[in-house]
Amino acid sequence: QVTLRESGPALVKATETLTLTCTFSGLSVSTRGMSVNWVRQPPGKALEWLAIIDWDDDKYYSTSLKTRLSVSRDTSRNQVVLTMTNMGPADTATYYCARTTIGVLGRGGLDIWGQGTMVTVSS
């Protein structure tokens, strides 16, 4: 069974940098054709995609947030790490990591999600 689990601080201060970790169990983070996405959801609002890292280490970011985001992998720990700089109150949200795969029909849906981690930014 493949599971993902997010971890990181529950509270950060404005202007600080947020670092979140997504730990994979049951599957290598380097599995060919697999990607890890980061998605966030402010309280009461819709899902917002942030970034993706592919199995071959290609990385893509949300256009509106790309100057603040960085995603990387630690294959020895089977983890994916997201950093977001210059945090502000508007970044208060639940942050999820989620898997997608690439098949004959192209990139698929986000088929495995972590439970999410709530991050509050204090001003």
Under the criterion CB under 8 A, does residue 39 sit at the interface with another protein?
Answer: yes
Lookup result for tokens 């630690």: 74
Q: Which residues contact 11 (CB under 8 A, 6 or more apart)?
A: 119, 120, 121, 122
d(CA 50, CA 83): 11
Helix, strand, coil tally for the chain in percent (to 5): 0, 55, 45
What is the distance between the alpha carbons of residues 92 and 1, in angstroms, rounded to a whole number? 31
Per CB under 8 A, the list member of 19, 23, 60, 65 interacting with another protein is 60
Closest CA to 69 of 48, 55, 42, 100: 48
Residue of the chain from 8, 55, 70, 107 that contacts another protein (CB under 8 A): 107
Q: Decide whether 55 or 60 has the Cβ nearer to another protein.
A: 60
Which one, 83 or 102, has the nearer CB to another protein?
A: 102
Stretch that binds another protein, among 10-18, 22-30, 39-47, 71-79 (CB under 8 A): 39-47
Point out which span in 11-19, 20-28, 79-87, 92-100 binds another protein (CB under 8 A).
92-100
Give the residues lining the site for another protein (CB under 8 A): 37, 39, 46-49, 52, 60, 62-63, 96, 98, 100, 105-111, 113-116
